[in-house]
Amino acid sequence: MDEQLKSELRRQGVVATSLQELYNWGRKSSIWPLNFGLACCAIEMIATTMARYDLARFGAEVFRPSPRQADLMIVAGTVTKKMAPQVVRLYNQMAEPKYVISMGACAISGGPFKQGYNVLKGIDRYIPVDVFIPGCPPRPEALLDAFLMLQRKIDEQQLTGPARPRHLQAEQPSEFSVPQYSEHDLVPTRNDAVWHAPLVNISNAGTNESGRD
């Protein structure tokens, strides 16, 4: 529909919309996050829901303790190898459509604790992530920004065609394999269906040359 006509009609008190817009508007305005904190970032996440930053303005203050009722998992903090299977299992238990915000340096890559033997080097090795927020911990404003980014992402989704999101494609998986504890490490150490090592030429690392080709 012509945008100009639409705004003209709106001024007359007539709201014209498409099913896709209505559907996306409904979903983006009521993202219910999972009540799920891991570490330091969780405190900033709680601060975001409190009176000062007031996440309720974006329709997302209803933190659900059960993954069955939640749309969004905020991975707020360091994911240890001991915790990683539980995180993946919680993600699998969430109903589609579901989104993941990877909050803070630890959830992205292991952050300052990257060299720890029990620290997972990024939750995106096991589950797909929609928005990454850098910071240690990110400020509440950064989390709000990630929220708005996720809302834009939902707003742009097509309901039909090849570019439609995962939950509308029957052949796409909605569950991912849960890693198992083993004698020295998790098995497997990554899910190759989700994560590929980025193209980095390690032989250039440590020199002034850029690591990327």
Partner 1 sequence: MSVLTEVSIDTISQPANDHLHGDLLEISMGPHHPSTHGVFRMNIVLDGERVVKLKPVFGYLHRNHEKIAEHETYLGSMPYTDRLDYICSITNNWAYALAVEKLAGIPVPERAEYLRVITGELTRLQNHAGLIGFLLQDMGASGTPLMYAFREREKILDLFEALTGARMMCNYMRFGGCRRDLPSGWMEHAQKVVDGFPRFLDEFERLLRTNEILMARTQGVGIVTREQAINAGISGPMARASGVNYDLRKVDKYGIYDRFSFRVPLGEHGDVYDRYMMRLLEMRESLDILKQAMRDLPSGPIMDPNTKIRNFRPKAGEAYGRIESPKGELGFYLISDGGPNPYRYRVRPPSLINLTLLEQMCLGHNVSDVVIILGSVDIVLGEVDR
Partner 2 sequence: MNLEEIKSQIEANVPGCSLEIIPNASPSGQHSLLVDPEHALTVGSFLRDGASPRFDYCSNVTGVDWPLKETTAKQKTKKIVDGVEKEVEEAVKTSTGDYLEVVYHLFSLEDRQGPLVLRMRTGDRAERVHLPSLTPVWRSAEFQEREVYDLFGIVFDGHPDLRRLLMWEEFTDHPMRKDYVDPDDYEYEPTAHDEVLKRTQAHYAAQETPSGAEEAR
Q: Which of residues 45, 94, 100, 119 is near partner 1 by CB under 8 A?
A: 119
The phi and psi torsions of 43 (rounded to 5 degrees) equal -70, -40
How far, in Å, CA of 178 to CA of 181, rounded?
10
Which range in 17-25, 47-55, 147-155, 181-189 contacts partner 1 by CB under 8 A?
Answer: 47-55
205 in contact with partner 2 (CB under 8 A)? yes
How far, in Å, CA of 189 to CA of 194, rounded?
12
Q: How far is the CB of 147 from partner 1 (least distance, A)?
A: 19
189 in contact with partner 2 (CB under 8 A)? yes
Return the amino acid letter for 102: S
Contact between 57 and 140 under an 8 Å Cβ cutoff? The reply is no
How far, in Å, CA of 63 to CA of 37, rounded?
11
By C-beta, is 119 or 154 nearer to partner 1? Answer: 119
How far, in Å, CA of 46 to CA of 33, rounded?
12
Query: Which of partner 2, partner 1, none interacts with 35 (beta carbon under 5 to 8 A by kind)?
Result: partner 1
Binding site for partner 2 (CB under 8 A): 82, 114-115, 117-118, 121, 181-185, 189-190, 196-203, 205-206, 211, 213
